[in-house]
Amino acid sequence: MRRIIAAALLSITLFSCADTKKQEKDLLTEVIKTHDRVMSKDELIMINKMKLDTLIKETKDPLFKAEATKFVAELGAADVKMEDWMHNFDAENKNKSHEEIMAYLTDQKKQIDSIDKQLTTAITSSSTFIKQNKNK
């Protein structure tokens, strides 16, 4: 009887450990997927910055230059935020409990989602500005 109870407890313990590792892995996968989506926007950031720089050089209108410069700054700020996030992100989470890992990854998911929104907004608004002012 004791062997059966011990085996049952061992099974429950092993199953729950596997389940927590799966939760951690699934959340990490979500964070990495969002990171990859954000990184795919890096090229658009550079393209829009170059187009805006060209528009700034080609115009003499100070108000136009100021608006274009604002878009360059927004793109740059979003890009720097992404670089900072990547530099500080720790995917290994060694010597942390399941709760600590889940809290950390949940926070990182919120941060990378926020960066994704910031990048999307900066790219969309700068692209619209570029299209509207292509021939100026």
Closest by CA position to 38, among listed 81, 70, 102: 81
Q: Among positive and negative, which fits the CA dihedral 33, 36, 40, 45?
A: positive
Query: Does any domain span residue 89?
Result: yes
Query: Does any domain span residue 8?
Result: no
Query: Does any domain span residue 17?
Result: no
Query: Does any domain span residue 13?
Result: no
- Which pTM value belongs to this model? 0.79
User: pLDDT tens track of the chain, all 136 residues?
Assistant: 555 554 544 445 545 555 888 888 998 999 999 999 999 999 999 999 999 999 999 989 999 999 999 999 999 999 999 999 999 998 888 888 889 989 999 999 999 999 999 999 999 999 999 999 876 5
Query: Does any domain span residue 9?
Result: no
Query: Does any domain span residue 96?
Result: yes
Query: Does any domain span residue 12?
Result: no
Q: How many domains does the chain have?
A: 1
Q: How far is CA 11 from the centre of its chain?
A: 38
Query: Does any domain span residue 103?
Result: yes
